[in-house]
């Protein structure tokens, strides 16, 4: 595979093509968060 230059402005679309949601939960005083994405 040959490496080719790619515009930095378009790189994000390759890494994360769909919506992103920050999900947070809490239970018995324990707090947690995670990034969730889908496409």
Per the listing, tokens 């994405």 go with 37
- Which one is predicted more confidently, 18 or 33? 33
Please state the rounded mean pLDDT for residues 6-35.
Answer: 88
Contact 23, 12 (CB under 8 A): no
pLDDT of residue 14: 75
Distance in Å from the first CA to the final CA of the chain? 26
Per the listing, tokens 């595979």 go with 1
Using a cut of 0.85, tell me whether the model's pTM lies above it.
no
pLDDT of residue 31: 97
Report the phi/psi class of residue 25: left, alpha or beta, with left for phi > 0 and alpha for psi in -120 to 50: beta
Average pLDDT taken over every residue of the chain: 87
Per the listing, tokens 């995670």 go with 34
24, pLDDT greater than 80: yes
Number of residues in the chain: 39
16, pLDDT greater than 80: no
């Amino acid at each position: 595979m040959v490496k080719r230059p790619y515009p930095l402005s378009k790189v994000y679309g390759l890494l994360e093509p769909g919506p992103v949601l920050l999900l947070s939960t809490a239970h018995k005083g324990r707090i947690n968060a995670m990034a969730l994405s889908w496409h």
